[in-house]
C-alpha cells in the first residue's frame, strides 16, 4: 500500500510527523508560557512557529519551486518584545535541524506566503491553537492544492484517541488521503496504514455530529436546531481543529457543522483550516460543501471567499443535511 504513495505524500507525511513531534515537546515542556496574542487577537505559540519552520524547511528542500501558503509569518518573532519567543522556537527547531539559527528560523517561516498559485502547499502548522493551549485536540495540517482543489491531505492529530468511545485508548493518529486513492489512518508508532470509511448509518437518533469547541467560531445554536430537525438525539462532539474531519472520515461522527457565527457573519474560512480535511473526508466516501452546497474553492487566495460556512458529511445524507439548513 505504501508502495503506491507518491513522493509528495511521503514528504507530506514526514513533515507532519516531524512537526507534531516538535509540538508535543513544546506541549509537555512549556505550554503555560508558550503563547502571545497576534494582532487579530488570536493566540500563537512557540509550537506554531517551530512547526511552520520545520515543515517549510522540509518542503522547500523537497520541492524548491513550489509555493507554500501558510498561517504564520515571522513578524511577531521579530518584535524585540518577543525575543524570548524566537529564542525558544529556535531551540525546538534545533531538535529537528541542529543547524537552525534565529535568522534561519525566520527565513524558513517566511517561505510561507499568503498568495495561492495553481499548485501550492497549504499549511496550518498548528490548527486549533486554542485546543493546544487548553490541553485538548489540535492538528498539524498539510495539503497539496492543484487548480483550486485539494488533491492530497496529511493531518497529524497527536492527542486524538484511536477509539473515541474508549477513554483509555491509545492516542495519536495520522490521517492521509490522495485524490482517487482512498483515505487512511496510522496510529502513532505503528508502521501500517489502515483504510478508513465514513459511517454508512442513515439519519436518525443514533448518529452523531461534531462542531468546534469555540462558540465564536460557528453558530452552535443553529447547529442544535438543525440536529433536532434531522432527528439527532445525541449531544454534539465538540472538538478543536481538523481532527473533526478525521472523525467524520473514519465514521465516529456522520456530520461536521460549521455554520457562520452570528458574531462574525461575514467571516470567510481560511484555506489552511480545511484543505487537508476535505480530501480526507471525500476520499473516505464523504462529501464537503459550504452551506449552500457549493464545493470549497481553494484557488482564490488565503480565504474561501466564494464559500459560506462548511458542511462535511458521510455523503449519502448530504442533501438531507443541506435541506435541513434551509430556514433553520
Task: Give residues in contact with ligand AMP (CB under 6 A).
Answer: 127-128, 131, 212, 214, 216-217, 240-241, 261, 264, 267, 270, 273
Q: Which residue, among 314, 305, 277, 306, has the nearest Cα to 199 in the 3D structure? A: 314
Q: How far is the CB of 273 from Mg ion (least distance, A)?
A: 4
Q: How far is the CB of 72 from ligand AMP (least distance, A)?
A: 11
* Count of chain residues binding Mg ion (CB under 5 A): 3
Residue carrying the nine cell digits 528560523: 105
**Which C-beta is closer to ligand AMP: that of 50 or that of 100?**
50
Q: How far is the CB of 86 from ligand AMP (least distance, A)?
A: 22
Of Mg ion, ligand AMP, none, which one sits near residue 212, judging by CB under 5 to 8 A according to partner kind? ligand AMP
Of Mg ion, ligand AMP, none, which one sits near residue 214, judging by CB under 5 to 8 A according to partner kind? ligand AMP
Of 5, 45, 48, 90, the active-site residue reads: 48
Q: Which of residues 97-136 bind Mg ion (CB under 5 A)?
A: 124, 127
**Which C-beta is closer to ligand AMP: that of 88 or that of 274?**
274
Of ligand AMP, Mg ion, none, which one sits near residue 201, judging by CB under 5 to 8 A according to partner kind? none
Is position 113 annotated as part of the catalytic site?
no
**Which C-beta is closer to ligand AMP: that of 8 or that of 211?**
211
Asked if residues 271 and 307 have their Cβ atoms less than 8 Å apart, the reply is no
Of 129, 289, 291, 313, the active-site residue reads: 129
DSSP 46: H
**Which C-beta is closer to ligand AMP: that of 66 or that of 214?**
214
Question: Is residue 273 a contact point for Mg ion (CB under 5 A)?
Answer: yes
3-state secondary structure of 174: strand
67's enclosing H/E stretch is strand 67-70
Please tell me the distance from the alpha carbon of residue 28 to that of residue 228, in angstroms, as a whole number: 40
Please tell me the distance from the alpha carbon of residue 245 to that of residue 253, in angstroms, as a whole number: 9
Q: Which residue, among 198, 150, 158, has the nearest Cα to 177 in the 3D structure? A: 150
Q: Which residue, among 154, 25, 29, 159, has the nearest Cα to 96 in the 3D structure? A: 25
**Which C-beta is closer to ligand AMP: that of 264 or that of 305?**
264
Asked if residues 118 and 82 have their Cβ atoms less than 8 Å apart, the reply is no
Please tell me the distance from the alpha carbon of residue 244 to that of residue 286, in angstroms, as a whole number: 13
Q: How far is the CB of 141 from ligand AMP (least distance, A)?
A: 9
Q: Which stretch binds Mg ion (CB under 5 A): 4-12, 92-100, 258-266, 270-278?
A: 270-278
Asked if residues 314 and 285 have their Cβ atoms less than 8 Å apart, the reply is yes
Q: How far is the CB of 121 from ligand AMP (least distance, A)?
A: 17
229's enclosing H/E stretch is helix 220-229
Task: Report how far apart, in Å, the C-alpha atoms of 233 and of each of 109, 203, 206, 257 are.
Answer: 45, 11, 7, 16
**Which C-beta is closer to Mg ion: that of 127 or that of 252?**
127
Is position 129 annotated as part of the catalytic site?
yes
Catalytically active residues, by annotation: 48, 129
Amino acid at each position: 500500500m505504501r508502495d503506491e504513495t507518491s513522493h509528495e505524500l511521503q514528504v507530506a507525511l514526514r513533515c507532519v510527523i516531524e512537526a507534531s513531534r516538535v509540538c508535543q515537546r513544546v506541549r509537555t515542556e512549556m505550554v503555560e508560557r508558550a503563547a502571545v496574542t497576534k494582532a487579530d487577537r488570536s493566540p500563537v505559540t512557540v509550537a506554531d512557529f517551530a512547526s511552520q519552520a520545520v515543515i517549510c524547511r522540509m518542503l522547500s528542500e523537497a520541492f524548491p519551486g513550489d509555493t507554500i501558503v501558510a498561517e504564520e509569518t515571522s513578524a511577531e518573532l521579530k518584535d524585540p518584545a518577543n525575543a524570548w519567543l524566537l529564542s525558544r522556537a529556535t531551540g525546538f527547531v534545533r531538535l529537528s535541524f541542529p543547524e537552525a539559527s534565529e535568522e534561519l528560523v525566520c527565513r524558513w517561516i517566511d517561505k510561507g506566503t499568503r498568495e495561492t498559485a495553481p499548485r501550492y502547499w497549504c499549511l496550518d502548522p498548528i490548527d486549533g491553537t486554542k485546543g493546544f493551549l487548553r490541553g485538548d485536540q489540535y492538528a498539524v495540517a498539510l495539503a497539496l492544492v492543484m487548480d483550486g482543489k485539494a488533491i492530497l491531505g496529511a493531518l497529524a492529530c497527536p492527542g486524538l484517541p484511536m477509539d473515541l468511545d474508549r477513554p483509555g485508548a491509545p492516542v495519536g493518529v495520522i490521517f492521509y488521503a490522495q485524490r482517487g486513492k482512498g483515505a487512511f489512518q496510522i496510529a502513532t508508532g505503528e508502521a501500517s496504514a489502515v483504510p478508513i470509511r465514513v459511517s454508512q448509518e442513515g439519519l436518525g437518533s443514533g448518529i452523531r455530529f461534531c462542531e468546534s469547541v469555540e462558540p465564536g467560531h460557528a453558530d452552535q445554536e443553529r447547529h442544535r436546531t438543525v440536529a433536532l430537525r434531522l432527528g439527532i438525539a445525541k449531544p454534539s462532539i465538540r472538538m478543536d481543529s481538523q481532527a473533526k474531519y478525521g472523525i467524520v472520515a473514519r465514521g465516529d461522527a456522520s456530520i461536521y457543522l460549521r455554520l457562520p457565527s452570528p458574531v462574525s457573519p461575514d467571516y470567510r474560512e481560511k484555506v489552511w483550516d480545511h484543505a487537508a480535511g476535505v480530501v480526507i473526508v471525500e476520499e473516505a466516501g464523504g462529501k464537503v460543501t459550504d452551506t449552500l452546497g457549493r464545493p470549497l474553492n481553494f484557488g482564490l487566495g488565503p480565504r474561501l471567499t466564494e464559500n459560506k460556512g462548511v458542511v462535511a458529511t458521510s455523503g449519502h445524507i448530504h442533501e438531507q443535511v443541506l435541506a435541513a439548513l434551509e430556514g433553520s
